[in-house]
Structure 1
Amino acid sequence: MSILSEWLRDLRALLFPERCAVCGEPLARGERFVCTLCRTTAPLTGYWRETDNPVAERCRDLLPVHRASAFLFFVRGSGWRRLIHAFKYRGRWRAALAMGRWYGRCLRESGLYDDVQTVVPVPLHFRKRCRRGYNQAEYIAEGIAAELGARVDRKSVRRCRNTASQALKPRRERAANVEEAFEVRRPERLAGHVLLVDDVMTTGSTLLACAGAMLRAAPGCRVSVAALAVSRRGLGIRE
């Protein structure tokens, strides 16, 4: 890098500093998206290190999933909630990719997801995808897959019903809202260990509806689920 290019970069950083997506403070050199302090104090679950954890127990009550975990607790009113909403609703897809890489490194280091061959993002209905312009779960899945050395499959599973937002539904109606909302078009591609990825797990209805469709269509595969964030309330944990 030339002296002039370095000087211009430093001037831009001085006038228009990149800010932490969680706390809003300017990022130091070498920091990306989330500052070191916020990373250190992140509400991590640690569930990716445990075969049996509250997310796995919740899922296995309803489906024979192989593994299940979540990375962060979805804390209402926190900067982490704002970060998730930023890439979910305000176009900050690069933050979703970066968070996926961080989560993927933790999954790899745990040793419990070493044999994952395929990563499948929970699909959006094409109408919702057109309105939003992208599917944030795909970027999380890309980050995870890059760390696990797996491939991302965006085409084998599709959302065949344009369901109402789960966030607008009371807990008791969420499972019915996503019932038969997913279909598998290429079951032969779902062989071996498949990791199903979504951004937020509240009651687990969406993830489990999608995982159920995959298990019915490809009964020989092992399906694991990974959510970037999980609601304590959805797990029955007092906040």
Structure 2
Amino acid sequence: MSILNSLLRDVASLFFPARCPVCGEPLAQGERTVCTLCRATAPLTGFWNEAGNPMLDKCRDMLPVERASGFLYYVHGSGWRELIRGFKYRGAWRTARAMGEWYGRCLKESGLYDDVEVVVPLPLHPFKRCRRGYNQSEYIAEGIAAQLGAAVDRRSVRRRRNTASQALKSRRERARNVEDAFAVRYPGRLAGRHVLLVDDVFTTGNTMLSCAGEILRAAPGCRISVAALAVSRRELGGRE
């Protein structure tokens, strides 16, 4: 059966070759998830190599965050934006996992995240998770945790309000929208540990930092860092 399955996959790849989710070109032999050219030209931030960076500065204006990093700049109109939309809205969860692994390798190589003990994906409300079928942040977190050698905790933090989308809201509306949206069910699992909170996109930071603040309040002695797969350059004071 395994030989037949392998043969069927080979035949399918001839007629329906895997394509790069960034540029849309067929992946060459040996390429995985994203083609070599797109990897080489990716809008990487490099924040994981910097103990101090614009994202950390923004976070520390609101919370005592240990580390903060975004992997890619979220560039509107780019193929990278479509990659993210693919795993948020079109079921491409394997892409989220693969991007988490790439990001995790960079975090590991920097040495700045070596003492992270547990990785927590930003939770979705059960209704939204049921409708989507999965939480994309969990797959990103899995990829990161596998590289850091840390545990993934999907249960200690929950989303208790099904908040509306932040996309079209003003800065003030975004902050109000996520007030009291999160709760920590098992603070003992996070107390005294260095927690890395992971999400897909960091814009104003309100959602992520609302969750991070709830963890810090609930888990004594906890230290928290944040990591997002993509970050808005505009929100950090730069240009798109």
Q: TM-score, normalised on structure 2? A: 0.95
Question: Residue 168 of structure 2 aligns with which residue?
Answer: 168
Amino acid at match of 1:211: A
Cα distance between partner residues in 2 of 1:148 and 1:175: 31
Per the TM alignment, residue 233 of structure 1 is displaced from its structure 2 partner at its CA by: 1.3
May I ask how many residue pairs the two structures share in their alignment?
238
- Is structure 2 residue 45 aligned with structure 1 residue 45? yes
Secondary structure at the aligned position of 2:117 is classed as strand
Question: Residue 77 of structure 1 aligns with which residue?
Answer: 77
Moved more, 10-19 or 74-83: 10-19
Structure-2 change in CA distance of 1:212 and 1:23 (3 Å) = same
- Is structure 2 residue 220 aligned with structure 1 residue 219? yes
Per the TM alignment, residue 131 of structure 1 is displaced from its structure 2 partner at its CA by: 0.7
Cα distance between partner residues in 1 of 2:123 and 2:22: 26
Question: Residue 177 of structure 1 aligns with which residue?
Answer: 177
Cα distance between partner residues in 2 of 1:44 and 1:133: 29
- Is structure 2 residue 111 aligned with structure 1 residue 131? no
Per the TM alignment, residue 13 of structure 1 is displaced from its structure 2 partner at its CA by: 2.4
Structure-2 change in CA distance of 1:79 and 1:189 (3 Å) = same
Amino acid at match of 1:33: T
- Deviations 1:2-30 (CA, angstroms, capped at 9, x unpaired): 99987765543222111001100000111
Question: Residue 157 of structure 1 aligns with which residue?
Answer: 157
Cα distance between partner residues in 2 of 1:36 and 1:144: 21
Cα distance between partner residues in 2 of 1:187 and 1:5: 45
Cα distance between partner residues in 1 of 2:227 and 2:69: 5
Structure-2 change in CA distance of 1:18 and 1:64 (3 Å) = same
Question: Residue 203 of structure 1 aligns with which residue?
Answer: 204
CA RMSD across the alignment = 1.6
Question: Residue 58 of structure 1 aligns with which residue?
Answer: 58
- Is structure 2 residue 26 aligned with structure 1 residue 31? no
Could you tell me the percent identity over the aligned residues? Answer: 74
Amino acid at match of 2:86: A
Amino acid at match of 2:110: S
Structure 1 stretches lacking a partner, 5+ long: none
Structure 2 stretches lacking a partner, 5+ long: none
Cα distance between partner residues in 1 of 2:44 and 2:126: 32
Cα distance between partner residues in 2 of 1:4 and 1:83: 31
Question: Residue 98 of structure 2 aligns with which residue?
Answer: 98
Secondary structure at the aligned position of 1:223 is classed as strand
- Deviations 1:102-137 (CA, angstroms, capped at 9, x unpaired): 000000000000111100000001111111111000
Structure-2 change in CA distance of 1:30 and 1:181 (3 Å) = same
- Deviations 1:38-86 (CA, angstroms, capped at 9, x unpaired): 0000000000000100110000011001100000000000000000000
